[in-house]
Amino acid sequence: MKKILITVGIIVLFLLIVFGYFSATFSKFQKELLATTIENVDLSLVKDGTYEGKYDVKLISAVVDVTVLDHKITDIKLKEHKHGPNPKYAGDDTTKRVVDKQSLIVDGVTGATNSSKVIKKAIELALKKGI
């Protein structure tokens, strides 16, 4: 009986530690994401070229290649995208919206708002490399 109680106690302690770790990680993720702001980049200042941008808030990250020609975004390739529970969201909607509008100020994708924000921040950081 004593062995069973010790085993149960160890399992409960382990689960509490795991839960605490994931709670702290998720809390940090939420704070980072809330602090993330998207600044529109003046495309008239961006030189022609392809620029890589990366942004990571632990649970969601994105790496993009943004191609600019004649001060217009002509292509955005999503090279890497680690995201949450929606495996169907590939990020193509966000990149297409940015190219179509020639602006980072576009609506996020319903059901993938956080991923959209991270992708847009990666695009912003890429564009700033061309200034």
43-129 folds as Sufe protein. Chain: A (3.90.1010)
With 90 as the cut, is the pLDDT of residue 43 above it? yes
- Average pLDDT taken over every residue of the chain: 89
* Predicted local confidence at residue 62, as pLDDT: 95
Distance CA 130, CA 71 (A): 10
Q: What is the pLDDT of residue 86?
A: 59
pLDDT at 70 exceeding the cut of 90: yes
Query: What is the domain partition of the chain in residue ranges?
Result: 43-129
Beta bridge partners, 77, equal: 65
pTM here?
0.83
CB atoms within 10 A of CB 37: 8
